[in-house]
Structure 1
Amino acid sequence: MKVTVVGDVLLDVDINGNATRLSPDAPVPVVDVVDVRHRAGGAGLVATLLSNDGHDVKLVTAVSDDDGASHLRRALAGIAVLTGAPLAPTPTKTRVRIGSHPMVRFDEGCAPAPTPACTREMVDAIVSAEAVVVADYGRGITANPEIRAALAEAACRVPVVWDPHPAGSEPVPGVAVVTPNLAEALAVAKAAGLDPSRTGPAEAGRHLQQRWRSSAVLVTRGEDGAVLVGSSGDTKDIPAPRTSVTDPCGAGDRLAGSLAVHLGRGVELPEAAARAVEDASAFLANGGAASLAVPASAEDRADGRAAESADVSTRVSPVVELKGLGLVNGPAGLEPDGVQLAESVRAKGGTVVATGGCFDLLHAGHARTLAAARSMGDCLIVCLNSDESVRRLKGAHRPIVSQEDRAELLLALSCVDAVVVFGEDTPEACLDRLRPDIWVKGGDYEPEELPEARLIAGWGGRCVTVPFHPARSTSGLAEALAKVG
């Protein structure tokens, strides 16, 4: 599905560590930092979640040109980010955790900013969407007149879900659903003169539905679920599944994105809202936003700096070492370091991502798919068809590039952590050894349609698809090279 996310991006920084002693300077814990991770927050988190689900996502926002913005762009690799004039500084929220317990949060640069400019591409992304999510974090993007006009026009054609912010703009009239949390809904009701002590979520939702002229309002209530207020003022309580939550960060973003997708697929509003609440609960149960963070060491590799320690995302050595390990003729064609890497990442609680293919003549479509896959976890392992496998699948004239060279080229990409060559026609045996948490494939079909879906689900993994990039294929590139020759 083509989903456009409109809103403000934030940089979320997670500092994770242990505390076993108090500081001699003051009665406060000393945190021994284990790792520092960066992730896209706000509208960036919504876009990341939808992209991870396999949707064709465009992000309409404003991005600065400072150091924080460079972290954001890496976290958003594989997503089409359309921006107007840059804003400074990048709003940054830094959370310090001891074990799984949040201790303190520092906010920098989060004050309201001037309304950013709008480009033709930003408007086109809204107009061409099949569903729109507005993630307003009070930084001005929703105040731009051209963007508001495009959103109002889109609301007449496709589902627009608007997640509001106290410092943001009011939703344009006609949106499908506005999703304030209970505190936000009561604050608006109080400002309008309603008595907060006598106003519940249903009453506040009715007031907001009339004020914003939206089709519906979904007032979220954390672990208590949500209250849906329809266009006629009718209400429905939606319970949330019981789950253990250590950090609720990102629940509203997951809910808004899921709700827009369900509505875009034609699901009726009450059912779509119930599914979105369930999706948000499952997201938190699986670690929430913190599970999407990119380790600082991985970002260092993306900048071309070598890792200084044996990190969970340490890359395997290039082809010379792989040959010595029996890459070509080993059992089932498996390269041991890829399996060891997967086991190491899992042992440390990380997410193993894998993808596969022939990768004969690397092109921009490959690079984008690989970058998008790497952003979904803590390591990316590529399952590569051997030369014999490629010949059986593609014909005697393929591969153009040998498996040794294809593996070396893949390893040269900063987003690839290991390459495993397999000799069969399908990667099932390879996947059964690696057991990735996420299996990524390019294609315009639903993840559950993948032939590997049942195998991956067997160990609790999931399949994700990312769209193909038109006019970028190995066959097309080979034909063009033949004409040049």
Structure 2
Amino acid sequence: MRTPVPLLVVGDALLDHDLCGRAERLAPDAPVPVVSGARRTSRPGGAALAACLAAADGRPVTLVTALGDDEASATLARLLAGRVRLVRLPLTGALSSKTRILAQGRPLLRLDDGEGRAAQATREACRAVAEASAVLVADYGRGTADVLREALTGAAARVPVVWDPHPRGSPPVPGVRLVTPSTAEARSFAARPGAFAARPDTGTAGQGGSGGGLQGAARDAGALVRVWRAASVAVTLGGRGALLSHGETPLLVPSPATAEGDACGAGDRFAATAAGRLADGELTETAVRAAVHAATRYVTEGGVRSLPEGAAPPPDRPAGREPADDALRTAARVRAAGGSVVAAGGCFDLLHAGHVALLQAARRAGDCLVVCVNSDASVRRRKGDGRPLVPLRDRVRVLRALECVDAVAVFEEDTPERLLGELRPDIWAKGGDYALARLPEASLVESWGGQVVLFPYLDGRSTTGIARRAASAPRPR
């Protein structure tokens, strides 16, 4: 496996706090919720979160940011120790921090403290930018990108630079490889005077057309490519994915699944993944696709609240792998909410209508469906040489695209007993063709009170039959 290229993150670090508790009544003196049993957690935020997420992908990361002598700066420095290399800029004022108050996992209120700004560049910081192989600018509008603007302009002409902008910050330097505004951020930047000067067909700045949905995002992205002189702009669309524009017809990169959960930090996850992939030499389209998947997974797994205090976030999975951790977290969340977990397994080589019918029926039997799929080596041992016809990477991707599938986990063994022992599903679903056989995993599932359930199988559908018909079909001359 290729060693990941080091990444330099330049931007404004924040210190984030969450107060998580329960809200079960209103205060007697005002119609506001009373939050009880609150637990406080602290973590890196802003550019510091982006740096930690990039480091969790297994690459060396250096963070250039402004820190002072205040308590928040000292706390953040301790949280970053051992995770990233830190290059400090002087800070005027106190480090910015934000505190979210949440009840039942939903934000009720946010408190912001500290208005510190980067004071000036340093020789060490300029040298770090000049020597970087790739750069991510996480601009939160507090001056770090501004004081290093000249050095960043030189970097953009030499190496991949990804710029995650903020309405309070300055525009990206010319020549950046990719800019990653949200829909609202792109709208804000595009509405500024001059943004649509190169588009006579769009009317006055900030107007022109409906201004909403994909049409508005495409128009904004195309205008910003030109006014920023950027190679590309990817407007993030929340749970819908991202819209990538090089200035003309945009590319829509949809989310692989509907992600519901705390989206705080999802933009940092997107930018960090995209920057890392570009650092490794991948095409912009490939980097954006990986970033959409990583951000979706990040939200689904709980976002920042899934990251333990003072510990590195879980690494982004290598392409084509589906570790059981995702499925285990999905099962744990469903059980915590009082739901039941259904699991189904198989090779799912040449996914066909019979597979889909089984998985749809299995999902209706519970509150989530985890699909356990054989690895390529496992399929070869079971089915013989020449199988699988479809490699693991593609089989997993097709399964994840099904609306009825909540998570996918890969097992290397011939049978899924080890994985089932970790998942402990309430229902183990199999096709009706096993009706006359005692499944080897039945005793295991029943040992924790689970139930094996058979579902009707569509007649005449099989991977072997499809492959045989395809091989015997006459070929066009």
TM-score over 0.5 for the pair? yes
Deviations 1:194-225 (A, max 9, x none): 30653411111111010110111111110121
What percent identity do the matched residue pairs reach? Answer: 42
1-structure distance, mates of 2:20, 2:154: 44
2-structure distance, mates of 1:293, 1:105: 20
Equivalent in 222, 243, 247 of residue 258 of structure 2: 243
Counterpart in the other structure of 1:169: 170
Equivalent residue of 2:191, what SS? helix
2-structure distance, mates of 1:247, 1:158: 33
Deviation at 1:114, TM superposition (A): 4.8
Amino acid at match of 2:20: N
Counterpart in the other structure of 1:269: 284
1-structure distance, mates of 2:270, 2:9: 13
Amino acid at match of 2:59: H
Question: Paired residues, what number?
Answer: 301
Deviations 1:25-80 (A, max 9, x none): 22322211331000111100001111222211111110122121122112211121
Deviation at 1:163, TM superposition (A): 0.3
Counterpart in the other structure of 1:21: 25
Q: Map 1:3-402 onto structure 2 (within 5 A).
A: 3-78=7-82, 79-110=84-115, 113-144=116-147, 147-192=148-193, 193-195=205-207, 198-199=210-211, 200-230=216-246, 232-294=247-309
Deviation at 1:287, TM superposition (A): 1.2
Deviation at 1:102, TM superposition (A): 1.5
Question: Using a 3 Å threshold, how does the CA distance of structure 1 residues 293 and 137 change in structure 2: closer, same or farther?
Answer: farther
Amino acid at match of 2:99: T
2-structure distance, mates of 1:164, 1:204: 14
Structure 2: 5+ residue runs without aligned partners? 194-204, 312-331, 337-417, 424-477
Deviations 1:245-272 (A, max 9, x none): 2211101101111001111112111121
2-structure distance, mates of 1:228, 1:156: 21
TM-score (norm 1): 0.58
Question: Using a 3 Å threshold, how does the CA distance of structure 1 residues 74 and 292 change in structure 2: closer, same or farther?
Answer: farther
Equivalent residue of 2:87, what SS? strand
Deviation at 1:8, TM superposition (A): 0.2
Structure 1: 5+ residue runs without aligned partners? 299-345, 350-454, 461-485
Equivalent residue of 2:48, what SS? helix
Counterpart in the other structure of 1:326: none
2-structure distance, mates of 1:41, 1:141: 15
Question: Using a 3 Å threshold, how does the CA distance of structure 1 residues 56 and 207 change in structure 2: closer, same or farther?
Answer: same
Deviations 1:295-324 (A, max 9, x none): 8xx9xxxxxxxxxxxxxxxxxxxxxxxxxx
Amino acid at match of 2:125: M
Equivalent residue of 2:153, what SS? helix
Deviation at 1:189, TM superposition (A): 1.8
1-structure distance, mates of 2:132, 2:192: 34
Question: Using a 3 Å threshold, how does the CA distance of structure 1 residues 196 and 64 change in structure 2: closer, same or farther?
Answer: farther
Question: Using a 3 Å threshold, how does the CA distance of structure 1 residues 56 and 120 change in structure 2: closer, same or farther?
Answer: same
Equivalent residue of 1:94, what SS? strand
Amino acid at match of 1:163: D
Report which of the two structures shows the higher radius of gyration computed on alpha carbons.
2
* 1:65–1:87 contact (8 Å) kept in structure 2: no
2-structure distance, mates of 1:202, 1:245: 25
1-structure distance, mates of 2:123, 2:144: 15
Deviation at 1:12, TM superposition (A): 0.8
2-structure distance, mates of 1:4, 1:226: 24
Equivalent residue of 1:241, what SS? coil
* 1:4–1:126 contact (8 Å) kept in structure 2: yes
Question: Using a 3 Å threshold, how does the CA distance of structure 1 residues 237 and 13 change in structure 2: closer, same or farther?
Answer: same
Q: CA RMSD in A?
A: 2.5
2-structure distance, mates of 1:194, 1:20: 44
